[in-house]
Structures are given as structure tokens and as C-alpha cells.
Structure 1
Amino acid sequence: MIMPRGSDQLLLPVNPFFIAFTLAVAAAFNMLPLGRVPAMPDLLAVVLVFWSVHQPRRVGVGLAFLFGLLMDVHQGALLGQHALAYTLLGFAGISIHRRLLWFGVVEQALQILPVFVLAHAVSLAVRMAAGDMFPGWSLLLAPVFEALLWPVATLLLLAPQRRAPDPDQNRPL
């Protein structure tokens, strides 16, 4: 099998409990009472897109929708605002996962940036249609920060799956 250029080694299968743990930790970080800062990156969105790209059969649109409803209820936002944005993120991640994995991490971050911009634009459009005020132009920084977090998320979330670089009698592969 030809390996994609972006991956330099074979990865072990991902543990489903690790996926659930990372999603729960990202949701907990989003729920920290830091105030409403429009430029704050959405860590749950980054982790959802990451797992929908790397494990599209385990993390999909339905799970993204449930986490979106959770964030809507937590933030007191219009019910469905985050759910719609996260659902679009999950769908986009699943749609581009085969193509995206052929690129390096920096190129992946550049290609995932429009997806984050679209999700924030949809969320802003829903919020503005409901009569909320414009949060300011610093909102444009959030997708950039999320794209900058993509290499960090890749490094941290793929770390448990990496094989040992030098095989020995205890690690034959």
C-alpha cells in the first residue's frame, strides 16, 4: 500500500476511549469561564475536525451535532447555533479526509483554515439573524488561531498511536 506523503510512519489503531477522552477534555476547556472573547479559538471544534479527518467512522456528524447542542446549552446561545457549525465542521472533515491526509501538517492547516472560517461565518450569521450584536472584527482571528492549533493537535492526538522508531524483540513491528 502506498502511504500518504504526510505520514512518515505507520500508526497503531486508535483507542476509542482516547477519542472520547480528548473530546471530553476539549469540551471541558470550552466550558471554562474565561468570558466571551471573540478571538478565542474553539478547541472542541479543532478536536472534532481532527477526529473526523483521522477517524471518520468513529467521529461523525451526529457526534458533532450532540457536542454542538451541549455547547449551545452551556453558553446559553441560540439552540442550534453551535450544533449547525459543528455539524458543518464534521461534514467538511469527513468530506476532505482522504485528500487532506496526503499533505504535511502545515499544508493541512492551510487547507483546514477555510473550513474554520466557514463555521464561524455560519455561527455569526445565525447569531445575527436572531438579533444579536456584531461581536467585533476580532472574531476573524479565531479561525486563524484554530488553524494554528492544527499542528499542535496533530502532534498531541497522534502521539499514542505512533510506533517505536527502532524495533527490537519486544517491539517487532
Structure 2
Amino acid sequence: MNSPHYILLPVSSLFIAVSLACAFFLNFLPWGAWIGIPDFVALALVFWSIHQPRKVGIGVAFLMGLMMDVHSAVHLGENALAYTLLTYFSIAIHRRVLWFKPLAQCFYVLPLFLFVQTMQILVRLMVAPDAQFPGWLYFSSSVLTTLLWPVATWLLLAPQRRAVDKDNTRPI
């Protein structure tokens, strides 16, 4: 009850683009092939499609997915399909998720991240005849991405929390 409620400033489109680019470059790092590393692009897409669904939509998710497909050298459209569906379902639940605090929001975003990984595995198994199921440890990436959700919320909403003109007598 005593926690402050911030009136957020409008988000800059440039900040959204920079955060998506940073997430994309974090997926470029060499640890991307290891099992259990979070998908930073999926995290950023879910965050912005929940908080700014009019600025980050299915088109942005499709382009980010195509760029990830080219970078990962996987079947063209695997990540594009997964990120597009991820963004669609994120936009579908965005009003409900915003009612909760970031820790409670984790229960809503975990199924989204698990769904993305399931879609990626299903596409690989359908397209490649010699593909094998990578094991249940593969889904630890979704759990780690979900654990990063409160950190991402704090970090990506920080520029919107600052006051336009600082006034010590203003209660909000």
C-alpha cells in the first residue's frame, strides 16, 4: 500500500529500438549455443509487446525472427514463426499482465517462453528428418529467461520513471 506508484513518461521509439538491438547483440555472443542461456530477443519482444503493443507488434517480431534465423543458420522462418506467435499471445494478454507486480508477471510470461521453445523444436523435428529431441534440459532457457523478467522490467522502465522537472515538494 505504501509503495510508490509512478506515472511513467512516454517511451522513446529510439529507446525501444536500442533495447531490441542490445538484446539481439546479446544473442550474438558465443554462449548462444550453450543449453540454458536465456533468449534475450524473446525477453525484449515480450516486454515491449506487453508494455507498448502499439509500437512493437507482430511485424517487428517477424523481422527480429528473420534476423535471428539468418544469424543462427537455422531453417528460415523457425524463429520468425516462434517470435510472431510469441508477440501475438503477449499482446493478447498485455492488459491482464500489467495489473500485477513483476514477480507475479513471471507466472504469465513463463508459458509464453516455453511455447516459443516448443515451437522451435517442433519446426526442427518436422523439417529435418534426422533431428532428435534435445532433452528436457533444453527448456531451462525458458526458466532463466523468466527469472530475468523482473530485472528487465526494472531496467527497461527506468528511463520512463524519471521526472521531467524535479520538484521535492511534489508527492509523485
Is this contact kept in 1: 2:31–2:37, CA < 8 A?
no
Change (3 A) 1:154 1:43: same
TM-score with structure 2 setting the length: 0.90
Unaligned residue ranges in structure 1 (runs of 5+)? 1-5
Matching residue of 1:159: 158
Matching residue of 1:8: 5
Is this contact kept in 2: 1:89–1:119, CA < 8 A?
yes
Task: Tell me if 1:53 matches 2:50.
Answer: yes
Deviation sequence 1:9-43 (CA, Å, 0-9, x none): 11000011000000000000101122512321100
Is this contact kept in 1: 2:106–2:146, CA < 8 A?
yes
Change (3 A) 1:124 1:45: same
Partners of 2:12 and 2:112 in 1: CA distance: 26
Residue identity in the other structure for 1:136: G
Matching residue of 1:91: 88
Q: Secondary structure at the match of 2:148?
A: helix
Partners of 1:80 and 1:35 in 2: CA distance: 18
Deviation sequence 1:62-105 (CA, Å, 0-9, x none): 10000000000111001110001100111111111111000111
Matching residue of 1:66: 63
Residue identity in the other structure for 1:134: F
Matching residue of 1:124: 121
Matching residue of 2:144: 145
Change (3 A) 1:118 1:66: same
Q: Percent identity?
A: 51
Partners of 1:64 and 1:119 in 2: CA distance: 12
TM-score with structure 1 setting the length: 0.89
Matching residue of 2:134: 135
Residue identity in the other structure for 1:58: K
RMSD: 2.2
CA positional deviation for 1:7: 8.2
Unaligned residue ranges in structure 2 (runs of 5+)? none
Residue identity in the other structure for 2:68: M
For residue 111 of structure 1, the aligned residue among 108, 111, 114 is: 108
Instruction: Pick which of 86-95 and 128-137 moved more.
Output: 128-137
Partners of 2:169 and 2:62 in 1: CA distance: 42
